[in-house]
Amino acid sequence: MSFIFFSIFPVSSDISALIDHISSCKSLEDLKTIEHVLFSRKSGLLTLAFKQLNTLSPKEKKIKAKELNALKKRAQETGNGMREALKKRVTDAAEHNVLDITLDLPEEEHGHLHLIPEYIAQVEDVFGRLGFDVAYGNEIETEETNFDLLNFPKDHPARDSQGIFYLCNKERGTQSAQQPLLRAHTSPVQIHYMRTHTPPLRMICPGKVYRKDADATHSPMFHQFEALMIDTDISLAHMKSIMETAMRELMGSDVEFRWRTGYFPFVEPGLEVDVRWRGAGWLEIAGCGMVHPNVLEHCDIDPKKWQGFAFGFGIERMLMIKHHIPDIRLFTEGDLRFLRQF
C-alpha cells in the first residue's frame, strides 16, 4: 500500500484522505499500517494534530478540536468495520477452500469382521494356547462320513431327509454311503483328521453346519466348533477341565456348567452341557464324551492303546448367551443396526 507524503504539521484534509484509504485495505496488515500512521503515540498524524491544539487560541482551539474529534471517531469506526470485514474474509476462505492442517478430519467409517468369524478367531486363539491344531473340513460330506463312520446305526433318525439337506435325491430304502449331503455337524472332521494324522493329537474345527430347522433359536445354517483330543491316558476329567477353562476365557469367569448324560453314537459315555451366565436361564450349548472305540477303529487307531474325548459347541448359542441376542436370525439378516454393536 502506498501513502501520500504529509507535511510535518498534519492537515485535516490529509488525515481525511488517509481515512478514506482504510476501505481499500486488502489485509489486516494494511489496516494496521494505516492505523499506526494515524494513531501511533509519538508520530501518529492524529496524535500530532491533537498536540497542535495547544498552539491555537481558545476560539480556534474549540473549532479545531471538534473537527479532529470527528475525524478520530470516523477513523476508529471505519477501522473497526474494516477489521471485522477482513476477519470474516479469512474465516470464509478457511471454510471454503483453504487447507487447515490443524483441523481433525471427519472420522472415516471402517468395516469390521462379523461377530461370528471374529468369535471363531478367538476360539482358535484360546485353543491354540492349549495346544490344539485348527482344521477346516468340507461343508459337503457323505452319508458315510457324516453318519456311518461316526457309528450311527443304519436306521438312526438323524439320517432322515426331513432334517438333512441331501444334495441328490435320496431314494427310499437305499443307503448309498457316497450320498452327498451338507454336513449336519462338524464331527465328520474327526474322521478326516484321524485318518490323516497319527496320535497323540489335539484338534479343533470350526465351521458351518446345516439342518432343516428354522425358528428363533434354530437356523438352517449355523456354526459349530468341534474339539478332539487323543492320547494314551485321557479321561473325562481332562475333557471337563479343557471345556471349562476354554469357556471361562470365552464367556467370562463366572460362567456356570451343568453336566447331564446324553447320547451321541460316536461317543461313550456321552454328555450334554448346559451353561448359565449372569442370571440368564440354562441353555444347552454342547455335546461331548469319550470317542467311541468303533470310531477309532474306523480310523485305524487302536482303541486299546489310544483314547480321547470329543466335544462340539454351537457358536451362535454361545454368542446369544454372551450378548443377550434374542433371535438367531439376527446373525444373518445383515441389519447394520445389529452388526455395528459388535
- Judged by CB under 6 A, the residue of 78, 226, 290, 331 near ligand PHE is 226
Closer of 275 and 310 to ligand PHE (Cβ): 310
Q: How far is the CB of 131 from ligand PHE (least distance, A)?
A: 19
Q: How far is the CB of 248 from ligand PHE (least distance, A)?
A: 20
With residue 180 as reference, give the H or E element that holds it.
strand 180-182
CA 196 → CA 199, 266, 299, 300, distances in Å?
Answer: 10, 19, 9, 10
Closer of 119 and 210 to ligand PHE (Cβ): 210
Closer of 191 and 288 to ligand PHE (Cβ): 288
Interface residues for ligand PHE in 169-188 (CB under 6 A)?
185, 187
Grid cell listed for 238: 481332562
Binding track, positions 12-41, relative to ligand PHE; x by CB under 6 A = ------------------------------
Query: How far is residue 45's CA from residue 15's CA, in Å, rounded to a whole number?
Result: 7
Closer of 78 and 266 to ligand PHE (Cβ): 266
256-261 β-sheet, strand order: 133-134, 201-210, 221-231, 307-314, 283-291, 267-276, 256-261
Instruction: Give the count of alpha carbons within 13 A of 282, CB side only.
Output: 10
Q: Which residue carries 494356547 as its cell?
A: 129
- Phi/psi for 118 (5° steps) reads -65, -40
C-alpha 15 chain-centroid distance = 67
Q: How far is the CB of 311 from ligand PHE (least distance, A)?
A: 5
Grid cell listed for 249: 476365557
Closer of 199 and 289 to ligand PHE (Cβ): 289
Binding track, positions 283-322, relative to ligand PHE; x by CB under 6 A = ----xxx--------------------xxx----------
Closer of 210 and 264 to ligand PHE (Cβ): 264
C-alpha 48 chain-centroid distance = 70
Query: How far is residue 193's CA from residue 146's CA, in Å, rounded to a whole number?
Result: 13
Grid cell listed for 81: 468495520
Task: Assign 137 to helix, strand or coil.
Answer: coil
Q: How far is the CB of 137 from ligand PHE (least distance, A)?
A: 12
Closer of 35 and 226 to ligand PHE (Cβ): 226
Q: How many residues bind ligand PHE (CB under 6 A)?
A: 11
Grid cell listed for 304: 486299546
Closer of 67 and 268 to ligand PHE (Cβ): 268
Per-position b or e across 218-227, b if 16+ CB within 10 A of its CB: ebebbbbbbb
Closer of 128 and 269 to ligand PHE (Cβ): 269
Q: Which residue carries 443377550 as its cell?
A: 324
* Nearest residue to 142 via CA among 193, 107, 178, 96: 178
Residues 6+ apart with CB under 8 A from 35: 75, 79
Q: How far is the CB of 339 from ligand PHE (least distance, A)?
A: 26
Residue 223 in the binding site for ligand PHE (CB under 6 A): no
Interface residues for ligand PHE in 183-212 (CB under 6 A)?
185, 187
- Judged by CB under 6 A, the residue of 132, 193, 222, 264 near ligand PHE is 264
Q: How far is the CB of 172 from ligand PHE (least distance, A)?
A: 25
Residues that bind ligand PHE (CB under 6 A): 185, 187, 226, 264, 267, 287-289, 310-312
